[in-house]
A = this chain, B = another copy of it.
Amino acid sequence: MKPTKKAVVLLSGGLDSTTVLYYALRKEYDCHCLLFDYGQRHARELNAAKKIAARASCPFTVVKLGLPWGGSALLDKRQEVRSSKKHAGLHGLPATYVPGRNTIFLSYALSYAETIAASTLFIGANAVDYSGYPDCRPEYYRAWQNLLKSLGLKIRIEVPLIHLTKSDIVKLGTKLGVPYKDTWSCYKGGKTPCGVCDSCLFRAKGFREAGLSDPALTS
């Protein structure tokens, strides 16, 4: 029987959001994946997300975002992505910080959830092994829940990974059968992950501490 609980899952194609998708599926949600094409430097991440959604037999929708002001090394091909490099002028944040990114993503997710009458929004934010983005912290999601309440919406935001370490996430996902081979975490878009950006480093730490090898690196 088809599950009746409908959820919108923000899927980037990375390790965290893919784990969240499998978590929501295990909880028997009817998952509708929301993907964003926001002028990332490379298409690898988006292609990974499409493949993952299709493999999990979940419908997905791609939102094409216009962000005319750029402002991040993840968008601007002229800026270099470096581990821990600070953002030019923005509160000492990493160069990979996209101003308002999760807020824009969640506002679309809210619009979509309202339209398809979903009860729950899943997002793979994590505030333990992360780049320090302010839109990954628990208080931000509490404020979002409050915003939904102010709109009279009974939509719940679930952030199941928020307090997990990267290795906890890898262990959870491995139990859930997440196809980590298909996920893409690297901020760059090379043939293989660069191994030196923040995202690669956190991922490697996660697999190492979980005592597992990363299937994306062993193909």
Please give, as numbers and ranges, the residues of chain B lying within 8 Å of A149 by CB-CB distance: 143
Contact code string A77-93 (vs B, CB < 8 Å = 1, else 0): 00000000000011100
Over the window 149-168 of chain A, the binary record of Cβ atoms lying under 8 Å from chain B Cβ atoms (1 yes, 0 no) is: 11111000000000000000
Copies of this chain: 2
Given A111-B101, A147-B103, A150-B137, A69 contacting B116 (CB threshold 8 A): yes
Contact segment of A20-28, A50-58, A60-68, A192-200 = A60-68
**Contact status A110-B115, CB under 8 Å:** no
Selected A-B contacts with CB under 8 Å, 16 pairs: A61-B68, A63-B66, A63-B68, A64-B66, A67-B111, A71-B111, A89-B117, A100-B107, A100-B108, A103-B151, A104-B104, A134-B150, A134-B153, A135-B151, A140-B147, A143-B149
